[in-house]
């Protein structure tokens, strides 16, 4: 009888000790997750100074370019004409199928292409709100042309995929 009682007590104690260790281990993991999240959040929070918060691109993030009549905005339109020169008319003519304005780290992106034939003419426009710089990329049948206003904008890979 004593060996059975001893085994039962040992089993209960070992189960209790194991469950305490598991609980402590899961608490440690969640504490570690919290600290990693905090560290990531602290590092990810960067103050981005936007030079012109009233810029048509900045104030219409999430909206479609044609919805906000982006090509009717005189300031933006004049800058686009200056940057793209002779390609300007083709951009306007072929900007039918569009993506909404998206951003990451103060750099905004939107695009448009020829309806029913995107590979034949696609335009991607990037705007760096920190430097007030516009870049335009035109892809005509896999021939890519780039235009920059004040130099090339460094694009994060995650933004280029949006």
50 in a domain, yes or no?
A: no
* 18 plus 65 within the same structural domain: no
Residue with tokens 């951009």: 91
Q: Are 130 and 153 in contact (CB under 8 A)?
A: no
Boundaries of domain holding 149: 58-160
* 36 plus 68 within the same structural domain: no
pLDDT at 25 over 70: no
* 37 plus 65 within the same structural domain: no
Q: Beta strand pairing status for 97-98 and 102-104?
A: unpaired
* 41 plus 72 within the same structural domain: no
10-23 tens-digit pLDDT: 555 554 544 444 44
Is this model's pTM higher than 0.95 or not? no
135-153 tens-digit pLDDT: 999 999 999 999 999 999 9
pLDDT at 4: 57
Number of independent structural domains in the chain = 2
Q: Are 132 and 139 in contact (CB under 8 A)?
A: no
Strand-pair partners of 134: 127
Q: Are 52 and 99 in contact (CB under 8 A)?
A: no
Say which residues have a Cβ less than 8 Å from residue 98's Cβ, sequence separation at least 6: 64, 65, 66, 110, 111, 112, 113
* 41 plus 68 within the same structural domain: no
Both tokens of 117, joined, read 């034939």
52 in a domain, yes or no?
A: no
Nearest to 119 by CA among 135, 136, 96, 142: 142
The b-or-e profile of 80-116 (16+ CB within 10 A means b, else e) is beebbeebbeebeebbeebeebebeebbbbbbbbbee
76-94 tens-digit pLDDT: 999 999 999 999 999 999 9
């Amino acid at each position: 009888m004593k060996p059975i009682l001893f085994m039962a007590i040992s089993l209960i104690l070992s189960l209790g000790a194991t469950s305490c260790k598991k609980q402590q281990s899961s608490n440690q993991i969640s504490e570690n997750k919290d600290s990693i999240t905090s560290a990531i959040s602290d590092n990810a929070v960067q103050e981005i100074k936007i030079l012109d918060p009233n810029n048509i691109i900045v104030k219409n993030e999430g909206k479609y370019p044609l919805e906000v009549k982006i090509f009717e905005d005189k300031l933006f339109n004049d800058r686009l004409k200056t940057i793209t020169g002779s390609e300007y008319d083709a951009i306007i003519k072929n900007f039918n199928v569009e993506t909404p304005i998206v951003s990451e780290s103060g750099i905004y992106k939107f695009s448009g292409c020829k309806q029913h034939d995107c590979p034949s003419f696609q335009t991607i426009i990037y705007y760096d709100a920190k430097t007030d710089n516009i870049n335009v990329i035109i892809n005509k049948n896999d021939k890519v042309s780039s235009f920059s206003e004040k130099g090339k904008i460094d694009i994060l890979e995650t933004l280029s995929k949006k």
